[in-house]
Every structure is written in structure tokens, then in C-alpha cells.
């Protein structure tokens, strides 16, 4: 009787999908940490960035936690789903565009730190989007 090794349900990041899977996990971590910080530190964050109404920060934090969970689920599937990855990239692009519109529109009276925070987060999200795009192309899904 010969035994065969048990295959895990989740492929390890190697080969053509490695960049995409690792970037999706990075996006997960960034989204979860940012979301939890907004949910549980809305008062402190709002004070620094110049936002006095806290419920939008808490709501945004919840959305980011849910988004991070979906991105993580996508990254762990045995077979990556092209449409799902494209949706994640599109949502990241939407975040960057919304950040630019928010800053240019001037609807919020953000502090200097708030403007920098929006710019830095948008830059990080754009980087994830670009790396995910490159990973998608490399994976040839």
C-alpha cells in the first residue's frame, strides 16, 4: 500500500501567482489594521485629522474590515478568480479617485495631518492596486 501526500486546499504562494497572492494578503493586512484603527480610535484619529463627526470614521472602518475579509478570502482560494481580483483592483482604484475628489472638492476641513493622511493612504492603496494588476498579468488568469 502506497501513501500519497495530502494536498492542502490553499496553494502556497509560488510561481506565477506569488506576487498576486502576497499583494492580496498585504492589502488584507493594511485594510484590517486601518479599519480597526478607525473603528476603535475614531475619536483620536478624528481629532488629529480635523473631523469632529465620528460615525463616518467608524462606518468607514467597518467597511474596510469587511473589505479586508473579502480580499483575504480571495487570496486563499485554491484557484484565484480573475473577476474577483479585477473587482478588488477596481475598488482600490475607486478609493484613490475618491481620495482625490475629497481633497480637491474641499468638502471636509481637514487639518494638515488629515490631508497628509488621505494622501498617504491613497498612495498605499494605489500601490496595492498596481501590484495586484501586475500580479494578475503575471498569473495569466
- Eight-state DSSP code of residue 109: -
pLDDT band (50, 70, 90) for residue 11? very low
Measured between alpha carbons, how far is 39 from 115 in angstroms, rounded to an integer? 20
Residues 6 or more apart in contact with residue 119 via CB below 8 angstroms: 99, 103
pLDDT in tens, 59-110: 999 999 999 999 999 999 999 999 999 999 999 999 999 999 999 998 889 9
Strands (E), the chain: none
Amino acid at each position: 500500500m502506497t501513501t500519497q501526500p495530502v494536498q492542502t486546499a490553499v496553494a502556497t504562494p509560488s510561481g506565477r501567482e506569488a506576487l498576486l497572492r502576497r499583494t492580496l494578503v498585504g492589502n488584507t493586512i493594511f485594510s484590517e489594521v486601518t479599519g480597526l484603527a478607525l473603528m476603535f480610535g475614531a475619536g483620536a484619529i478624528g481629532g488629529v485629522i480635523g473631523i469632529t463627526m465620528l460615525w463616518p470614521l467608524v462606518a468607514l472602518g467597518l467597511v474596510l474590515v469587511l473589505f479586508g475579509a473579502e480580499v483575504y478570502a480571495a487570496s486563499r482560494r485554491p484557484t484565484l478568480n480573475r473577476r474577483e481580483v479585477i473587482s478588488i483592483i477596481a475598488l482600490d482604484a475607486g478609493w484613490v479617485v475618491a481620495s482625490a475628489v475629497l481633497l480637491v472638492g474641499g468638502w471636509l476641513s481637514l487639518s494638515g495631518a488629515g490631508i497628509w493622511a488621505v494622501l498617504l493612504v491613497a498612495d498605499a492603496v494605489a500601490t496595492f492596486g498596481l501590484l495586484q494588476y501586475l500580479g494578475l498579468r503575471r498569473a495569466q488568469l
